[in-house]
Amino acid sequence: MADILEFRPRKPRRLGLCQYGHHAWQISKDRRFDVKSGKLVTHFRCTRCGTTKVEGT
């Protein structure tokens, strides 16, 4: 009989330019105020991969 090979699970596919740090940032208007520091902040969300970043003002 032949040996049965197990398939390895696929790794999550990385998205084009985002994997090299070239995100398409867009301002997310969900949250504007940081409660902990008490400051207004700007939330950015990448339109391709969904990663978020925060910039304080």
DSSP codes joined into one string, the chain = -PPPPPPPPPPPPP-GGGGGT---EEEE-S--EETTTTEEEEEEEETTT--EEEEE-
pTM of the model: 0.60
8 within domain boundaries? no
Is residue 36 in some structural domain? Answer: yes
- Structural domain harbouring 36: 21-56
Q: For residue 31, tell me if it sits in a domain.
A: yes
pLDDT digits (tens, 9 = 90+) for 45-55: 999 888 989 88
Express each pLDDT in 5-47 by its tens digit. Answer: 888 887 766 668 888 889 999 998 877 777 777 888 888 999 9
10 part of a folded domain: no
Q: Is residue 49 part of a domain?
A: yes
Residue 7 domain-assigned (yes or no): no
Q: What confidence score (pLDDT) does residue 15 get?
A: 61
Contact 30, 2 (CB under 8 A): no
35 assigned to some structural domain: yes
Provide the domain count of the chain: 1
Dist. CA 28–CA 50, nearest whole Å: 11
CA distance 14 to 18: 8
